[in-house]
Amino acid sequence: MFRVARVPQSETPLPTSWKRSLMAHQKPNLPTKICPVCQRPFAWRKKWERCWDEVRYCSDACRKKAKSGESCG
Ligand SMILES: [Zn+2]
């Protein structure tokens, strides 16, 4: 009699990507910054992928406000 002591492994590990999407499927893990003009957080956007480090304002409107400086109307 030849017998191989082999324990069948029924344990199937879940892929990490699955776990992640299950945990936070609504919130992508994007970096955020606080706009110094309107004090609101804004998230990374595709159009900023090359210049995210330089992005400071959430929108063109806020950038213009910041640049126009002091009271101008
Ligand atoms: Zn802003």
CA of 49 to the centre of ligand 1 (A): 18
CA of 45 to the centre of ligand 1 (A): 14
pTM score of the predicted model? 0.54
Residue 2 has pLDDT above 60, yes or no: yes
CA of 42 to the centre of ligand 1 (A): 8
Convert the pLDDT of each residue in 10-60 to its tens digit: 667 767 666 665 555 566 689 999 999 999 999 999 999 999 999 999 999
CA of 23 to the centre of ligand 1 (A): 30
31 vs 72 pLDDT, higher one: 31
Helix, strand, coil in percent for the chain, rounding step 5: 30, 10, 60
CA of 66 to the centre of ligand 1 (A): 9
